[in-house]
A and B are shown apart, each in its own frame.
Chain A
């Protein structure tokens, strides 16, 4: 009995040491930021801002995204103490971003979004805006993954690592979402478009 308990203790200590050694740089930054290190949090911001930007862009108008990204990171900085596992900063901040996007639609009228969309079309090009709108009309799982891949330029493994999703799920979401996007854009599998454009 004693030997078993001792063995368990040794195993637990070794596990803790291994965990400390295997801690990711993001987790170390989270611990520093918790202690009040603002520079560490700014590094986290630069590392995870594309993820938050993509999550928000899949849901809210482009013109609102930059301000909301700032809001999300400010909330994350204040509530950093609530993050239980520092290794899961990416999934945690993505959840904050999704909640913030939901809050945005609860507080904002639909007319403001339409006006914003028209302004964006004028600045960015109708074709790109239309493609983004089609992506936004896809189911949520496909929408977010495709925005992170096509807009933010992240690879599949990066998306899985940052969002906390399984790589297999991300792969499935990417392929099914892309298939659906091609159908909605009127693109044939060989790349030809049915109507000659988007």
Chain B
């Protein structure tokens, strides 16, 4: 290939020269630029505006915005899921639980008495006020604290501990309820008891209504 095509130097290529002569008629013809009198250059944008305007001018703006929004939604869901999961795991494997007792209460002793097999007292920071307890696996610290406090209340252990029927039929003492398994089972059993009470109440009401209806029929 000759250099003529590149910089018009050297021996002219016959075909290139012919096409130049042929197509030259379509070339630009100088013409006066007609700028409207009111046309003025717009001021230069500063800060983030150039980036935003370039993004808006881009043909990819709509798909890019959609993709970014979708990615944001997916990331939010993933983060929320991970956060909830981590929170649950942390609650289950909580190593330390701080218990508060009113001044004068026999804190450590009560806790020691009420602490079931999975719970072990480790440290007492302020005697009679705060006791640090290392727990095994706990579903929720608040629930566990409440259960332990209930179990630690003086005078309760002397009474016959009530048992709650689990789904499998095995009973749970309050000591067992202090454990993580017991705490969750306690909630389940409470729900079952409430449900049964409701069913009994409905049956009782239904029977009463039936009696009233029969009585009314007999009176007629």
Contacts and interface: CB of A to CB of B under 8 A. Distances in A.
Interface of A: 33-34, 36, 38, 41-42, 45-46, 49-50, 53-54, 57, 62, 66, 69-70, 73-74, 77-82, 84, 124-125, 127-128, 131-132, 135, 147, 149-153, 155-157, 171, 174-175, 178, 181-182, 187, 191
Interface of B: 1, 5-8, 14-16, 19-20, 22-31, 33-36, 39-45, 50, 53
B16 A77 contact: no
B53 A82 contact: yes
A125 B113 CA distance: 110
Nearest to B3: A156
Main secondary structure of the interface of B (DSSP, over half): loop
Contacts of B7: 155-157
B5 A124 contact: no
Closest 8 CB pairs of A and B: A53-B28, A81-B44, A80-B41, A156-B6, A50-B28, A45-B33, A151-B23, A191-B14
Contact of A38 (B30, B35, B53): B35
A150 B20 contact: yes
A74 B39 contact: yes
7 contacts: A34-B44, A49-B31, A78-B39, A84-B50, A124-B25, A131-B19, A191-B15
B22 A127 contact: yes
Contacts of B16: 150, 178
Contacts of A62: 26
A157 B19 CA distance: 20
A70 B16 CA distance: 30
B25 A82 contact: no
Contact of B1 (A33, A66, A149, A175): A175
B28 A54 contact: yes
Contact of B33 (A42, A57, A151): A42
B1 A79 contact: no
Given A74-B36, A155-B8, A174-B5, A131 B23 contact: yes
Contact of B19 (A66, A79, A81, A150): A150
Contacts of A182: 15
A128 B5 contact: no
Contact of A152 (B6, B27, B30, B33): B27
B31 A66 contact: yes
